[in-house]
Amino acid sequence: MADTPPRTAQPTARPDRAVAPTRTPADAFARASASVSGSAEDPVHDADLIVIGGGPAGCAAARTAAGVGMRTILIEPDALCRNLYRIPALNNVLGGWTDGPALADAVTAELRSTDLCRLELGREVGGVHVHDEHVAVTLDTGARLTAPHVVVATGVGPLQPHDVGWITAPDTRPLPPLWRATSRDAEARTLLVLGGDRPIGTFLRARPDTDTRLLVAYPESDAYKIEEIRDDPRVTLLPTERLTLSVSVSGRATADILSGDGGRRTVTADAAYLSIGNAPTAPPGDLVRGADGYCPPGDQHPRVIVAGDLRAARFQRIMTALGSGSEAALRAYYAARDLSAGR
Ligand SMILES: Cc1cc2nc3c(=O)[nH]c(=O)nc-3n(C[C@H](O)[C@H](O)[C@H](O)COP(=O)(O)OP(=O)(O)OC[C@H]3O[C@@H](n4cnc5c(N)ncnc54)[C@H](O)[C@@H]3O)c2cc1C
């Protein structure tokens, strides 16, 4: 690679404009791959960088990597920026972005037209394994991809009832977090919310006119968090010592609740949602996890670079995700140059 990072032409993406059929990012990726010659010392990998996770951190990593000439594969099981699509009101994002779906549309359009970035959507990574010369990434299809470096930006997911001691939920399928409920899920319905974590306030503020009723069952440890929703007439607070949950096939939820003062009650709702916090969602394999499950970047193998929310509970913002993703790509870029210079 040249001393100065080469800049590839990045057309400004417009969601309403079709990509010219004669030249697509996939074509550019294929041409760049075809021009790479392999040898025993310089084996041809599937990409120069594999990015796992298509949130803000993964998208920033892929965009930056492609921008310095690295053939990049980004793997995401869902849509790019799937979480941003469910955040109606954004705070603290430079550039005046206050609408999650609008930011997600802009990022998605740009990634789709980024030369050298191949998107593998609808694919989940089931394993990351580090070897001397490369990292191997296994997809849920069984396919195996290799690259000299991998950026892991898989973020966090909701804790489930079986992760906390105060809920018993036999045979319950994974429940979604409240913030993923759409207007259709919520309108004119009664929702049982397990836990008193702060996204409940965000949910209510984003829907000032909704007639959703929330039954919020929360443990003593969440008592300080529910202050901001205490006076909302749509909320019924249920201080809870222990809760036994059952969910019918249609999704209706029934909860038997033992409160702190020994009282018992049974409540029913149209659906159950979670607000008990998040846990890191690192893919299986050779990532180093801390005691809290997060993957500190400084503890990883040099070929594995962690970005975004997966790094630690403390740095979970869109701008930190974008910055850390971008930095992760440049780390891989400079590491690759050092490796080739040393040969
Ligand atoms: C309700 C809510 C409101 C928020 N509001 C704000 C706000 O106003 N301002 C702000 O700055 N921040 C806000 N945040 C935080 C912000 O959304 C996150 O910090 C940011 O999305 C983190 O980006 P990320 O790319 O690290 O992770 P994520 O956005 O979580 O993306 C991770 C991606 O990895 C994918 N993935 C997971 N496992 C795998 C796997 N095995 N293989 C492949 N892909 C995988 C997931 O599908 C996901 O798309 C909010 C968060 C929530 C939940």
pLDDT at 36: 46
| pLDDT tops 60 at residue 8 | no
Answer whether 201 contacts ligand 1 (Cβ < 6 A).
no
Answer whether 274 contacts ligand 1 (Cβ < 6 A).
no
Report the run of H or E that residue 117 belongs to, with start and end: strand 117-121
Q: Minimal CA–CA distance to 312: which of 330, 295, 334?
A: 295
Residues of the chain with CATH 3.50.50.60: 25-155+281-342, 161-274
Query: Where residue 44 falls among pLDDT bands split at 50, 70, 90?
Result: confident
Answer whether 60 contacts ligand 1 (Cβ < 6 A).
no
pLDDT at 166: 96
For strand 125-130 and strand 135-139, is the pairing parallel, antiparallel, or unpaired?
antiparallel
- Which pTM value belongs to this model? 0.84
Contact residues for 232 (Cβ-Cβ < 8 A; gap 6+): 204
| CATH number listed for the domain at residues 161-274 | 3.50.50.60
The DSSP letter of residue 309 is: G
Q: Minimal CA–CA distance to 282: which of 152, 175, 149, 120?
A: 152
Mean pLDDT over 100-107 rounds to: 97
Q: How confident is the prediction for the chain on average, in pLDDT?
A: 88
Q: Minimal CA–CA distance to 205: which of 182, 232, 176?
A: 232
Q: How far is CA 227 from CA 190, 259, 296, in A?
A: 21, 18, 33
pLDDT at 24: 63
Q: Is the CB of residue 111 less than 8 Å from the CB of residue 62?
A: yes
Query: Where residue 207 falls among pLDDT bands split at 50, 70, 90?
Result: confident
Q: Is the CB of residue 164 less than 8 Å from the CB of residue 276?
A: yes
Q: Minimal CA–CA distance to 111: which of 59, 162, 155?
A: 59
| CATH number listed for the domain at residues 25-155+281-342 | 3.50.50.60
Task: Give Cα 79 distance to the centre of its chain.
Answer: 10
Mutate to test the pocket of ligand 1, among 50, 64, 81, 83 (most ligand atoms within 8 A of CB): 83
Percentage of residues in the chain with pLDDT exceeding 70? 87
C-alpha 75 – ligand 1 centre gap (Å)? 14
Q: Which atom of ligand 1 is nearest to the CA of 78?
A: 47
| pLDDT tops 60 at residue 59 | yes
Measuring from atom 19 of ligand 1, which residue has the nearest CA? 317
Answer whether 154 contacts ligand 1 (Cβ < 6 A).
yes
| pLDDT tops 70 at residue 34 | no
Q: Which residue has the higher pLDDT, 181 or 26?
A: 181
Taking each continuous run of H as one helix and of E as one strand, the counts in the chain are 6, 18
Measuring from atom 12 of ligand 1, which residue has the nearest CA? 317
Answer whether 283 contacts ligand 1 (Cβ < 6 A).
yes
